[in-house]
Chain A
Amino acid sequence: MTSALLSLTLALGLATGQFAPQQAASDPLAPPLEARVQTLGKHLRCAVCQGLSVADSPSSMARAQLDKVRELVAEGKSDAEVMDYFVARYGEWVLLEPRAEGFNWFVWLGPIALVAGGLVLILKQLKREPAVAAATEPSPEVPVTPAPAPATEDVDPYLAAVRRELER
């Protein structure tokens, strides 16, 4: 029922023209320039999408933004100038890859630092493990199993190991 209503509403929306008519994009430039346009487009966030680049989005706004990139590239603007044009309008938000400067270094180096920290922890743990095992297993001087345990259970080495683990 719900799906029928939904599709009916959508169909009605289409019939009454509740959609942005697709307009053709501007003509692609010469191959080397067009490759630059597409690379730049991949790094710019589309203004109306959720986390999609200008080059990947089919929306009309993204098309308009990519047209602007093409226009700026055709005018002979450098990559940095094209990026600056968009940053001047939409802020750093428009860059899908944050610039490596200031607080942004945190974003770039944070994951590396986390992985390094994790590795250090794992290495430490690995180094400690044999030492701990060596320290607990012989332990003749420390009375590990106190008296109240019945003698029959003491025979079972597995149970003794569990006891020792519990008392540690």
Chain B
Amino acid sequence: MKRWQYTLGFVAVCAALLFVLFKGFGRDPHEVPFMLKGKPAPAFTLRALDTGERVSLEELKGRPVVLNFWASWCGPCQQEHPVLEWGAREFGSQAVFLGVVFEDTEDNAREFLSRMGASFPQLVDPRSRMAVDYGVAGVPETYFIDPNGIIHGKHVGPIDPQTLTTRLRQLTAQATAAPAPESP
């Protein structure tokens, strides 16, 4: 009889289906892939929220940069903000901390900062151009850029002191191991 062939075919189809389902359920559907790791950080020149002066990535070359995208309407950003404040005070001498306001009004952002503290410069990103350039997929997200302007990775969601410290250690260790070319 040819019956075993049908059974075999059925088993093959089921195995293929299981494989696809396993692949599908194996990953978090909310997770957005991030492809810019290890790539040069896209250049930006943005206006600072409080002083109005222009800040560009080019000027910051030679120092590690911690970029945080946030918004006043985002709950987790409120939880996270004290950690960044602490980080900026603790590691401010080793790395540049920058915040980028994502899809928010300037008044809301100012109010948030006056309430939560503003120990590092905040930038305004009109039309979220920079956010899309950096592949942001929601707030809060924290990017770590090494002294050569290469994106070392990003942290999705509110960052905790432990992760921040570890990530910064990696960044600064790299900076001392391979000194960045002198910026003119």
User: Which residues on A are within 8 Å of B, measured CB to CB?
Assistant: 17-21, 23, 26, 47-48, 50, 60-61, 64-65, 67-68, 71, 87-93
Contact = CB atoms under 8 A, between A and B. Distances in A.
A125 to B, nearest CB: 11
Question: Which secondary structure dominates chain B's binding surface?
Answer: loop
B56 interface: no
Q: Which 4 A-B pairs have the closest CB atoms?
A: A89-B135, A64-B128, A91-B33, A47-B137
Nearest to B129: A68
A68 B42 CA distance: 14
Q: How large is the interface on B (under 10, 10 to 19, 20 to 34, 35 or more residues)?
A: 20 to 34
B35 interface: yes
A23 B127 contact: yes
Contacts, number: 72
Contacts of B36: 88-89
Given A21-B103, A47-B32, A90 B137 contact: yes
Contacts of B91: none
A67 B138 contact: no
Interface in B6-65: 29, 32-36, 39
Contacts of B137: 47-48, 61, 90
Contacts of A67: 127-129, 132
Interface stretch (B69-77, B79-87, B116-124, B172-180): B69-77
A90 B32 contact: yes
Q: Which of A60, A64, A87 has the most CB of B within 10 A?
A: A64
Contacts of B73: 17-21
